[in-house]
Amino acid sequence: MTESQSAQPGEGFPKTSAPATRALLAAGYTELSQLASVSESELAKLHGMGPKALRILGEALAERGLSFGD
């Protein structure tokens, strides 16, 4: 894989707002599957994470047979 083909942090997330993506990365989440171990209310506390981003992330998890943690 060349440098131009390397995955960028956050590429595994669905398209959400830049603040929401930055919030996830700042909290150490780099892959969508990691969010299955985190509660939706915990993610909502992240600065930049709004209801729309939570909905999009929840739908993306559901498409993979996953959901937010308890």
C-beta of residue 66 within 8 angstroms of C-beta of residue 36: yes
Which tens digits make up the pLDDT trace of 22-62?
Answer: 999 999 999 999 999 999 999 999 999 999 999 999 999 99
| pLDDT score at 11 | 60
**pTM confidence score:** 0.83
